[in-house]
Amino acid sequence: MKLLAARTASYRSFSLALSLLALACYAAAQQGAKNGEWRFYGGDAGTTKYSSLDQINAANVKDLKIVWQWKAQNFGKRPDFNWEVTPLMIGGVLYFTAGTRRDVLAVDAATGETLWMYRLDEGARGAVVARTVNRGLAYWSDGKGDNRILLISPGFQLIALNARNGVPIPGFGKDGFIDLTEGLDREVVKPGQIGSSSPAIVIRDTVVVGAALLAGTAPPSKNNVPGYIRGFDVRTGKKLWTFHTIAQAGEFGNDTWEGESWKYTGNTAAWAPLSADEELGYVYIPVEAPTGDFYGGNRLGNNLFSDSLVCLDARTGKRIWYFQLVHHDVWDWDIAAAPILVDITVGGKKIKAVAQVTKQAFTFVFDRVTGNPVWPIEERAVPPSSVPGERMSPTQPFPTRPAPFDRQGVTLDDLIDFTPALKEEAVKIASQYQLGPLYTPLIVPDTNGKIATLLLPNHTGGANWPGGAVDPETGILYVASLTQQDPLAVAPADPKRSDMGYVGRGGRGGVSQAGPPASDDAESRAPARSNIGPQGLPLIKPPWGRITAIDLNSGEHLWMVANGEAPDYIKNHPAMKGIDLANTGKPSRALLMVTKTLLFAPEGNNLFAAAPGSGGNMLRILDKKTGKLIHQIALPGMATGVPMTYMVNDRQFIVVAVAASGMPAELIALALP
Amino acid sequence: MHSAQIAILGFFVSCSAAAFTRSVWDGVYTKEQASRGQTSYREECLKCHGESLGGGEGGSALAGEEFLRKWNGKTAGDLFRLIRKTMPSDDPGNLSSREYSDLVAYILSVNEFPVGPKELDRDAATLDDIRIEAKR
């Protein structure tokens, strides 16, 4: 009896230990950045952009001060003014890319002192590149002192550097280099056709690489380089696998490329940051649109795996599951943000989930093991196209939950109505365009007397590469979005310049008094575009930029706040005299990072196709429970990269890249005194 | 000054403003200059205005019917000044005058205006003598 009791007790403690171990494993699955470090671009492999650090909290955040600045001005041929970088922090050292040449820097995380720099002159290969913008690096360690930094160069080479000194690792590829233009099923890949703006991701011992190509509004050809996904052994650089984002002959999905369009169509890369689950060994790939952002007559069919969230086994490249978010994309609503991995509880059931925020303001949520939607995603009928040669998918997927986080589609009710006169003008402007719900097709100018289709969100609206951040302790997702519309049309391509048949074209009408704003915010860059609304004002009702908190356990929106205050040119606009402009926000996306209690939300600018009055130099710090502003700090420029945080010598730092028109980029580090 | 003199002076001023000595059809840039402009274009402009100058994310078309309709009747000096004042959008005005002039030459070449023996000048006022005409 005694023996049995002892056995039972021992069994109990064993099973308790097992449960605790399981709990610890589960809890460790997605916990954001660990040990006060920031080992991945997005904090952790799941791109949570979360750290549980809380030395800086609501009680003391007002004491936050800039403690060092690191200037990128002299890196690259000309200064960088749009530095989208987020550094890594490992063992007290920050690692990041800087300048248009994408030099690699190691900097003391406590002081900002430069420790080493790696500069690669790629000659002609690097002179003209698909994407000059850079977001950062990947890191790998064998845990025994072999620590590596992985760089994708502007000329599209994968380079492994010794993290201690920045010297290329001889045993990786060829003297530390892998030519990523090889193996893309094209005889010639010209410099500048393909590159990457986001870093690679390392999962276990595999480094996975996406790609970025030139914008495809008016491509010179329907022929382009495909943006295949590749996996390499991080120790040797040996290529392990290629995933064909354009299904090739005999492969699943090949029949979604009619007329053998899979043979010549390119793009379909993954230019946003990638995410991974280290426990499952899976990598999550956000795939972009195929060649021709706005015309798909040369690639009829659903075009797998374009615009799909694809889950691959990171070691073999085998497809585990996929879900196409836009069939036959002709709106340039490609997946522009990293998938966000988080463990949630829905109806009492624990789910390892992946949430994907999109340009068209949806949040698609899946079980990341199986690919099953957490809430039903309905295929709903959408209108056909009148463009010659074009054929739309008859349906598109609509998540039933969570609700969209920004306006979708345009009706007259969406137009500004600050005064009856402004509303009247807005209606007159809008009536030049084809209006309609989400997935209204583009038109050829002068179809039914309309100049173009008014897209909302447009292809640079909604969420984009800054994506969202998630609190893994609560399952609450934070997403920044831009309420931006654009009149867009497709017009016959000049055969001397393009074999596309039709290409995308801006479609601004004559009934508009749009022009540059009377006075722009001093801290903002010169607007790349003007408003189309009355008297240079936005056409669509505010907020023009917003932050939304979504509980992924229930799928409910918890709160939504405007991204800062209205731009000065709107506040000072004669037509806006006496009008309440609270909660209008700046027309830009905040760059979000979450800690134990705070949501760091610098106003940000973060896309070169920015609206007037975007940007703003305030680092806004919100209560993550309510969205209420706790404190704001003026930075020397606007945030251009997602912030990150870490702890060194018992001191928590917040680091963010900033720049402004005419102000070369720099890193700003903030800490308590 | 007599009012008659003012009128005569006014007449000459308006004459000189309207008196374009050349048009873009007269071979106002060289092949080499357009080639240099192409290099600058690819480094500085391509990401927004596209490979074929047909426009892109946030960048308007710099070639073709729409572009020519917009610029018809204006001068090469107007185009030079606008580019220098506003571009590159993140660092306006910070290319050299030579680069801006080369970029105008490249834009003219893509719009299929003929080359000539002499390069486009780097001075905006001088370029005001060259009228942009969509059709010869």
Please determine, for residue A580, whether its predicted confidence score (pLDDT) is greater than 90.
yes
CB contact under 8 A, B59 and A528: yes
Q: Concatenate the DSSP letters of all residues of A478-505 into one string.
A: EEEEE---EEEEEEE--TTT-SSSEEEE
Encode pLDDT of A507-566 as tens digits: 776 664 444 444 444 444 445 567 899 999 999 999 999 999 999 999 999 999 999 999
Q: Compute the radius of gyration of chain A from its Cα atoms.
A: 25
Taking the C-alpha atoms of residue A303 and residue A308, their distance in angstroms, rounded to an integer, is 10
Tell me the average pLDDT across A9-35: 53
What is the model's pLDDT at position A77? 85
Q: Which of A29-33, A140-144, B30-34 has the lowest mean pLDDT?
A: A29-33
Question: In this structure, are residues A466 and A642 in contact, taking their beta carbons and an 8 Å threshold?
Answer: yes
B94 pLDDT band, cuts 50/70/90, is confident
Q: Which residues are within 8 A (CB) of B70 and not within 5 positions of it... i.e. 6 or more apart?
A: none
Tell me the average pLDDT across A85-104: 96
Closest C-alpha to A326, from A377, A371, A402: A377
| Chain A hits for B90, Cβ within 8 Å | 81-82, 525, 608, 659, 661
Taking the C-alpha atoms of residue B77 and residue B71, their distance in angstroms, rounded to an integer, is 11
From its phi and psi, is residue A45 left (phi > 0), alpha (psi between -120 and 50) or beta? alpha
What is the model's pLDDT at position A607? 60
What is the model's pLDDT at position A153? 97
Beta-strand runs (E) in chain B = 22-23, 130-131
What is the model's pLDDT at position B131? 96
Tell me the average pLDDT across A10-36: 55
What is the model's pLDDT at position B60? 82
Domain ranges of chain B: 21-131
What is the model's pLDDT at position B88? 87
Taking the C-alpha atoms of residue B121 and residue B107, their distance in angstroms, rounded to an integer, is 15
Q: Report the 3 state secondary structure along A444-472.
A: CCCECCECCEEECCCCCCECCCCCEEEEC
Taking the C-alpha atoms of residue A503 and residue A295, their distance in angstroms, rounded to an integer, is 6
CB contact under 8 A, B91 and A494: no
**Interchain contact A190–B (C-beta under 8 A):** no
Tell me the average pLDDT across A137-151: 98
**Interchain contact A217–B (C-beta under 8 A):** yes
Q: Compute the radius of gyration of chain B from its Cα atoms.
A: 16
* Lookup: tokens for A352: 């390892």
> What's the gap between Cα A383 and its chain centre?
28
What is the model's pLDDT at position A513? 43
Encode pLDDT of A621-647 as tens digits: 999 999 999 999 999 999 999 999 999
Taking the C-alpha atoms of residue B38 and residue B106, their distance in angstroms, rounded to an integer, is 6
Question: In this structure, are residues A457 and A359 in contact, taking their beta carbons and an 8 Å threshold?
Answer: yes
Q: Which residues are within 8 A (CB) of B2 and not within 5 positions of it... i.e. 6 or more apart?
A: none
What is the model's pLDDT at position B44? 86
Taking the C-alpha atoms of residue B52 and residue A616, their distance in angstroms, rounded to an integer, is 33
CB contact under 8 A, A528 and B46: no
Cα dihedral A129, B45, A331, A587 sign? positive
| Chain B hits for A662, Cβ within 8 Å | 91-92
Which residue, chain included where needed, has tokens 């073999």?
A316
B11 pLDDT band, cuts 50/70/90, is very low
Question: In this structure, are residues A282 and A368 in contact, taking their beta carbons and an 8 Å threshold?
Answer: yes
Taking the C-alpha atoms of residue A133 and residue A465, their distance in angstroms, rounded to an integer, is 12
A606 pLDDT band, cuts 50/70/90, is low
For residue A282, count other CB atoms closer than 10 A to its CB.
23
Which domains does chain A carry?
43-66+402-636 (no CATH), 197-398 (2.40.128.630)
CB contact under 8 A, A78 and B42: no
Tell me the average pLDDT across A181-194: 92
Tell me the average pLDDT across A225-247: 98
Q: Name the burial class of residue A216, with classes exposed (0-12), middle (13-18) and buried (19+) by CB atoms within 10 angstroms of its CB.
A: buried
Let me know the angle formed at the C-alpha of A394 by A392 and A395, rounded to the nearest 5 degrees. 115
Residue of A213, A458, A497 to mutate, interface with B, max B Cβ within 10 Å: A497
Question: In this structure, are residues A82 and A661 in contact, taking their beta carbons and an 8 Å threshold?
Answer: no
CB contact under 8 A, A608 and B47: yes
Q: Which residues are within 8 A (CB) of A78 and not within 5 positions of it... i.e. 6 or more apart?
A: A100, B91, B94
Q: Which of A142-156, A187-201, A338-352, B84-98 has the lowest mean pLDDT?
A: B84-98
Tell me the average pLDDT across A147-151: 98
* Lookup: tokens for A144: 């025994």
Task: Write down the mean pLDDT value for chain A.
Answer: 92
User: What pTM was computed for the model?
Assistant: 0.91
| Chain B hits for A292, Cβ within 8 Å | none
Tell me the average pLDDT across A241-245: 98
For residue A147, count other CB atoms closer than 10 A to its CB.
17
Q: Which residues are within 8 A (CB) of A214 and not within 5 positions of it... i.e. 6 or more apart?
A: A130, A192, A193, B46, B47, B50, B51, B56
Inter-residue long-range contacts of A573-578, CB under 8 Å, 24+ positions, other chains counted? A573/A517, A573/A518, A573/A535, A573/A536, A573/A537, A575/A418, A575/A419, A575/A421, A575/A422, A575/A534, A575/A535, A575/A537, A576/A418, A576/A537
Beta-strand runs (E) in A515-650 = 545-551, 556-562, 593-594, 598-602, 618-623, 629-634, 638-639, 644-648
Q: What percent of chain A has pLDDT over 90?
A: 84
Which residue, chain included where needed, has tokens 């709106």?
A331
CB contact under 8 A, B48 and A662: no
**Interchain contact B86–A (C-beta under 8 A):** yes
DSSP tag of A474? T
Question: In this structure, are residues A247 and A304 in contact, taking their beta carbons and an 8 Å threshold?
Answer: yes
CB contact under 8 A, A215 and B53: no
Give residue A440's identity as a one-letter amino acid code.
T
Please determine, for residue A85, whether its predicted confidence score (pLDDT) is greater than 90.
yes
**Helix crossing, B76-86 with B97-110: angle to 10°?**
120
Question: What number of C-beta contacts closer than 8 Å exist between A and B?
Answer: 98
Kindly provide the ipTM of the predicted complex, given to two decimals.
0.76
Let me know the angle formed at the C-alpha of B107 by B33 and B29, rounded to the nearest 5 degrees. 35
Closest C-alpha to A550, from A356, A414, A367: A356
| Chain A hits for B39, Cβ within 8 Å | 127-128
* Lookup: tokens for A652: 């928590």
A6 pLDDT band, cuts 50/70/90, is very low
Encode pLDDT of A372-399 as tens digits: 999 999 999 999 999 999 999 999 999 9
Which residue, chain included where needed, has tokens 């040119």?
A569
CB contact under 8 A, B59 and A214: no
CB contact under 8 A, B91 and A131: no
CATH superfamily of B21-131: Cytochrome c-like domain (1.10.760.10)
DSSP tag of B75? B
Closest C-alpha to A261, from A180, A181, A328, A335: A328
* Position with higher pLDDT, A516 vs A669: A669
Encode pLDDT of A398-435 as tens digits: 999 999 999 999 999 999 999 999 999 999 999 999 99
How far, CA to CA in Å, does A246 sit from each of A94, A124, A268, A305, B6? 37, 29, 7, 6, 72
* Lookup: tokens for A349: 């059931």
